[in-house]
Structure 1
């Protein structure tokens, strides 16, 4: 049970951030943010939700709720309104990622004392903030092409400096077919006879992979291919649908930074976007009217 609870916490942490719960009649207001009350009941519920993620306590719960009210307010200011159906979809995503039904997820949360509305409110705030970041923050994030070129050049190695034309030889079935794959590999004489050789075995598929640059391939595979000449074939490796080998039909040196740059661009862009979003929220919070009771 605790393993499942921690998985829920990890998924929720990746997806989310609150507008407020409707305050019960006896709830005491602890903080007011831009006129929106945050009650002791909300804080207590958020403490329980944070406990699924490793904790945070009353202070962490309060700070998170304050931020989320500010995020919801900013979303409304720019015209973003999150519908109940969008929240339903986000909740379903959490359930599916946990490989359980929505009802089972609700049951697990209930067993931990977490009110369903607490999670739904948090999901709503997360969706709202994602929209704000996408519409306002993202357009101000720019990644320097010069910086990308320099970083990409520093990642060029002997193994990822080749351009290939490849064929895949796939022994369909489980890992138990590795013996036949090794036999095929020992008899392999080059791409021109790859299909003919495959007729000596059962359930073998030879397909044209086409042109691939080393930077498009997993690092370990790129290193292995770099050590092969034209007409060579990789060692058998177990994949989801059988045992696979790649044959080298053509190989040429090609210092191509395109794929390295794309990977760095995405990574750098994400880092800059997070920093910009954090600063945007900090600025909003500095302007917010926050009073503690």
Structure 2
């Protein structure tokens, strides 16, 4: 008897599911290189847009999904795969950027009616596209080294044209007022780097640290300006740092235009800009060649 009732119940559930299936069916709205994009995906992306304050609506969501399908297709062509672990790490980074826990992010998404797979799909495409740009686009980016040298040289100020060998004298501990008083006392008696350690022995919790060679462009601007006005054997005014109160002593000082660090920053900035421009061109070319069918 129970077998007959159980069988009837299962049959009823199957009939109900069959009767509901047309209403739950997903309709394909766009096909991109053979990859379908459904109305459900578009609706979910619209909800994600709304959660982010993006006013792109249905059209914007559709176009973004088309771009992502093209990006994933290109990644596949290049043999690039994105693991679930990479997607999970990207998701964790999103939560960190929003300063919420991952559980709270999931809760926010659910309250907005957004399936987590919607965000994961976008993150997967972003990770894949980043890999594509590294493999296929970056080798095409070339920077004008001579122009960067000239630009870096133009940005060097007079106080940044020195190379130093430095020692740090630090008075460790809390109570910056008292520590600053001791530091100023040390500074008044300072007579060059050779005697820095012996002089520090007259003070409680004072340490001398060999900083080594530093170019002015590696130092904070205010500190570089102060050092530029001092000669060998000079020592900066006390400044409060995390560990206590610190001063820098000049053991050697030579004039040297080192463009390494300034040029490095300019190169990174120019490289990022050039890479972004070239990636947009690469994407535009992929899109022009893609087979996009709107239903």
Pairwise TM-score range, normalised by the shorter structure? 0.7 to 0.9
Looking at structure 2, the residues matched to 175 and 49 of structure 1 have their Cα atoms a distance apart, in angstroms, of: 51
Q: Which residue of 1 aligns with 2:9?
A: none
Secondary structure in structure 2 of the residue aligned to 1:180: helix
Q: Which residue of 2 aligns with 1:261?
A: 263
Secondary structure in structure 1 of the residue aligned to 2:171: strand
Looking at structure 2, the residues matched to 220 and 51 of structure 1 have their Cα atoms a distance apart, in angstroms, of: 45
Deviation at 1:99, TM superposition (A): 5.6
The yes-or-no answer on 1:196 pairing with 2:198 is yes
> What are structure 2's unaligned runs of at least 5 residues?
1-22
Deviation at 1:66, TM superposition (A): 1.5
Provide closer, same or farther for how the CA distance between residues 200 and 132 of structure 1 changes in structure 2, counting only shifts above 3 A.
same
Q: Which residue of 1 aligns with 2:102?
A: 102
Q: Which residue of 2 aligns with 1:290?
A: 292
Looking at structure 2, the residues matched to 189 and 183 of structure 1 have their Cα atoms a distance apart, in angstroms, of: 12
Looking at structure 1, the residues matched to 89 and 212 of structure 2 have their Cα atoms a distance apart, in angstroms, of: 39
Aligned positions of 1:1-293 closer than 5 A: 25-58=24-57, 59-96=59-96, 100-174=100-174, 176=176, 177-293=179-295
Secondary structure in structure 2 of the residue aligned to 1:159: helix
Looking at structure 2, the residues matched to 61 and 185 of structure 1 have their Cα atoms a distance apart, in angstroms, of: 64
Deviation at 1:39, TM superposition (A): 2.6
Deviation at 1:198, TM superposition (A): 2.0
For each residue in 1:13-49, what CA deviation from the matched residue of structure 2 results, as whole angstroms up to 9, or x when unmatched?
Answer: xxxxxxxxxxx94333333222222233322322333
> What are structure 1's unaligned runs of at least 5 residues?
1-23
Looking at structure 2, the residues matched to 266 and 70 of structure 1 have their Cα atoms a distance apart, in angstroms, of: 28
Higher Cα Rg, which structure: 2
Q: Which residue of 2 aligns with 1:18?
A: none
Q: Which residue of 2 aligns with 1:12?
A: none
Q: How many residues are treated as equivalent by the alignment?
A: 270
Provide closer, same or farther for how the CA distance between residues 151 and 48 of structure 1 changes in structure 2, counting only shifts above 3 A.
same
Looking at structure 2, the residues matched to 235 and 48 of structure 1 have their Cα atoms a distance apart, in angstroms, of: 57
Looking at structure 2, the residues matched to 47 and 173 of structure 1 have their Cα atoms a distance apart, in angstroms, of: 55
Looking at structure 2, the residues matched to 184 and 106 of structure 1 have their Cα atoms a distance apart, in angstroms, of: 57
For each residue in 1:111-143, what CA deviation from the matched residue of structure 2 results, as whole angstroms up to 9, or x when unmatched?
Answer: 343321111111111110011111111111111
Structure with more of its chain in helix, by fraction: 2
Two-structure CA RMSD over aligned residues (Å)? 2.3
Deviation at 1:257, TM superposition (A): 1.8
Deviation at 1:101, TM superposition (A): 4.0
